[in-house]
Amino acid sequence: MQKFSAFSLARQAMGRHLGWRPQWRSVVPKPSYDIIIVGGGGHGLGAAYYLAKQHGLCNIAVVERGWLAGGNTARNTTIIRSNYLFEQSSSYYEHALKLWEGLSEELNYNVMFSQRGCLMVAHTVHDVQVFKRHVYANRLNGIDNEWLTPEETKAFCPPLNISPNIRYPVLGAALQRRAGTARHDAVAWGFARAASDLGVDIIENCEVTGIDRDPSGKVTGVQTTRGPIRAGKIGVSAAGHSSVVLAMAGIRLPLQVNPLQALVSEPVKPAFPCVVMSNTIHAYISQSDKGEMVIGAGTDSYVSYTQRGGLHIPAHTLEAICELVPDFRRLRMLRSWGGITDNTPDRSPITAKTSVPGLYVNCGWGTGGFKATPGAANLFAWTIARDEPHPINAPFTIERFRDGTLIDEAAAAAVAH
């Protein structure tokens, strides 16, 4: 792997940048591996990296049915935070946030992690009560979060409209200063590059069509569009399609898949200093490094695997954004897109062993998958390598839906962004 530094950049510039090599190897699938990871997004690539880096397991293949990171990794709005209500959730996301803080250095790849802060804006008395509850719970768990008055909110984010005359006036906000954003493509590329350098095979355009098992029920490999591949362990990290893959092994997951839309404006000079989220009006906004305003909304209400949604959803979101940040009313929207969210009944993820020996799953992240990327990958790798969960992800089993030990972040926050 070529190391990136100021010196290597200068050296390549002198050679017209013709000396850069491909960032990861292009390989033909081998007949067998020790471990197969299904899903070539941030979680899958990261799990392969941590399996090789921390557990010394390098005979690994990551199989992706399309192109690398072409699913939800490339279709989210890149918000990173850890201020969830329940201790189980906040511990998981805080683990991820701490890994984010050193990820660029570890991967020798700039993931453009920017800790610009995240404001969760309150518009009603209920919002104020809920967010103050979050602040107190986070502080008890050692996670930074603070309450701001409307005037303090305006000082932290000057473009916000705090007039009492708008439809949903700003009554205050919860602020996590360590929260922020990162570049989604860079995260996937960084993990792919580092994993490939450790010997992991990354196989694109390789769709899994079946899971093979021996008479005892243990997995023995997968059937793919590029032929059968044997493996002793299989980790599935395929977002909304995880339920489709696990159904091949006879496992039914408690997942509901809904489209989620986002859009960006034309690029402008730096004008928005942080991330702002509003659960009440189902809108959130930040500014990318390219200058675009990145805007997201709530999920469409229907169940679908389509990567598009109803026009009324972004229209409602833009109405709210224009009222909350009136300076942006004349901005033109550049493009919109959709992704699919894999939602569990309690809006918390599953990172666990399954009832099938040798089969593991990491899914159910809903709208929170990107922010958890390094943490989920790290703990999924632990679970696969040791055949047992790490204490942090131990509560996030499939069996909790049978036993009633839910981690209900949907009820806690009204929306799971």
Q: What is the percentage of the chain residues whose pLDDT exceeds 90?
A: 83
pLDDT for 417 = 45
Examine residue 18 and state whether it is found in any structural domain, yes or no.
no
Give the model confidence (pLDDT) of 373-395 as tens digits: 999 999 999 999 999 999 999 99
Does one domain contain both 104 and 193?
A: yes
Among 319, 343, 367, residue at a domain's last position: 343
Does one domain contain both 273 and 322?
A: yes
Among 343, 359, 394, residue at a domain's last position: 343
**Residue that wins the pLDDT comparison between 260 and 230:** 230
Examine residue 303 and state whether it is found in any structural domain, yes or no.
yes
DSSP class of 114 = B
The number of domains in the chain is 2
Mean of per-residue pLDDT scores for the chain: 94
Does one domain contain both 223 and 326?
A: no
pLDDT for 411 = 60
Does one domain contain both 237 and 275?
A: no
**Residue that wins the pLDDT comparison between 64 and 280:** 64
Does one domain contain both 209 and 241?
A: yes
pLDDT for 306 = 85
The whole-model pTM stands at 0.95
pLDDT for 307 = 83
Give the range with max mean pLDDT: 52-56, 279-283, 295-299, 300-304.
52-56
Does one domain contain both 272 and 395?
A: no
- Helix (H) / strand (E) element for 362: namely strand 359-363
Does one domain contain both 104 and 42?
A: yes
pLDDT for 412 = 57
pLDDT for 414 = 43
CATH number of the domain bearing residue 145: 3.30.9.10
The parent domain of residue 378 ranges over: 27-82+84-109+183-254+346-403
- What's the mean pLDDT in 170-179? 97
Examine residue 207 and state whether it is found in any structural domain, yes or no.
yes
**Residue that wins the pLDDT comparison between 124 and 281:** 124
Give the model confidence (pLDDT) of 306-318 as tens digits: 888 888 889 999 9
Examine residue 316 and state whether it is found in any structural domain, yes or no.
yes
Band (416; pLDDT cuts 50, 70, 90): very low
**Is residue 222 over pLDDT 50?**
yes
215, HSE (Cβ side, Cα atoms, 13 Å): 0
Does one domain contain both 172 and 193?
A: no
Does one domain contain both 339 and 261?
A: yes
Does one domain contain both 36 and 172?
A: no
